[in-house]
Amino acid sequence: MIMTSIPFAQPGMAARNVSDTFTSAEIFNSAIPHPVTEDFPVAADLVLPAFSVVGLNAAASSLAMATRNFAPGSKASGRLVFSGVGTADDTVTVGATVYTLKAAPTTVPGQVKIGATAAETASNLIAAINGSAGAGTAYGSLTPPHPDVSAQADAAGIVGIFAKVAGVAGNVVATTETGSATAFANTTLVGGMDQIGVQAIGVTTAPVVDTDAAQRVAIYRAGNFNPDALNWNASFDTDSKREAAFRDAPTPTNILIRKRL
C-alpha cells in the first residue's frame, strides 16, 4: 500500500481539506487494473499535482488540466465542382498554391493533367493536392503535397478539400478558380472551429513541478477512481460532472469515477 498527500488549493482546481491523505486503496475503488501508459509531454511552467485529471491541449502536443466544457474542434472544408474536363491554363488556387490544368504535365510543380472526363480531371487534381500516385503523368512530377489541406472525391467530378488541422485558422485558406468548367462554393474554406476546453483522457501518476523546461509524466488510462482523491479543474464542481468526465474519452481510456461510500 502506498501513502500520498495530494496537493490542494491549486489555481483553478477544486479545493480539498489540507489534512486529507489518501492510501492507494482509497484512490482506486476496486481491483480493476489501472495500467500506466507511456509518458506524455508537459509544457514548461505548467504545474500538475499528482492524480490530476488531464487531457491533451488543442494542438494535441502536451497535457493540460481537463475541463468540463469540452467540445472538439472541426476542420474547415470546401468543394470544387467540375462541370467539364477543363481547358488548358485554367487554374485552381488553394491557399498559396496554384494548380494549372495542362494537356500534358511536365516537371513543373502544380500542373494537372486534363482528363477525358470531368471525374478524371478531378481525380488528377486530388492526386496533386495529396501528393499521391500519378506524379509525372496525372500531375507535374515536382509537385509537393499541399502543406495545409488534403483532398478526396466527394462524388464524380467533385473535389472535397479539408484543412489538415482543426480550427478557425482553416477558414482563411483561399479557394478560387478560373475557367468555365470549375466552381467553388466559397472563396475560402469554411466551417473550421477551435477546440473548446480539454477532454479528460487520464490521471497523472506523479506531480509535475514548475520548471523552465518541458517535462514528461506518465498517466493512468484505466481503472476505477475515487473522485475525492483526484485533482480536478474547478469546472468539475459537482459529483455528477466528475462521474461523467471520462464518458466520451477516446480509446484506450477506460476510467470509471465512483464516489467512495
Question: Using one digit for the tens of pLDDT, what is the confidence trace for 118-173?
Answer: 999 999 999 999 999 999 999 999 999 999 999 999 999 999 999 999 899 999 99
Assigned C-alpha cell, 195: 477546440
Phi, psi dihedral angles at 54 (to 5 degrees): -130, 165
**Selection from 149, 189, 186 nearest residue 165 by Cα:** 149
Q: Are residues 9 and 64 in the same domain?
A: yes
pLDDT, tens digit (0-9, with 9 covering 90-100), for 99-123: 999 999 999 999 999 999 999 999 9
Average pLDDT, the chain: 87
Q: Are residues 119 and 179 in the same domain?
A: yes
Q: Are residues 228 and 177 in the same domain?
A: no
Q: Are residues 168 and 207 in the same domain?
A: no
pLDDT, tens digit (0-9, with 9 covering 90-100), for 203-242: 999 999 877 788 899 999 988 899 998 999 999 999 999 9
| Domain annotation covers residue 191 | no
**Selection from 233, 63, 261 nearest residue 245 by Cα:** 233
State how many domains the chain has.
2
**Residue finishing a domain among 184, 209, 239:** 184
Q: Are residues 96 and 127 in the same domain?
A: yes
Q: Is residue 23's pLDDT more than 70?
A: no
Q: Are residues 32 and 48 in the same domain?
A: yes
Assigned C-alpha cell, 136: 509525372
- Residue 7: band (very low, low, confident or very high) from pLDDT cuts 50, 70, 90: very low
Q: Are residues 88 and 180 in the same domain?
A: yes
**Secondary structure of residue 110 in the 3-state scheme:** coil
The C-alpha atoms of residue 81 and residue 194 are separated, in whole angstroms, by 27
CATH number (domain holding residue 208): 2.40.300.10
Domain coverage including residue 148 = 77-184
Q: Where are the alpha helices (DSSP H) in 33-93?
A: none
Judge whether 13 and 50 are in contact, CB under 8 Å: no
Q: Are residues 22 and 8 in the same domain?
A: yes
- pTM for the full predicted model: 0.65
Q: Is residue 5's pLDDT more than 60?
A: no
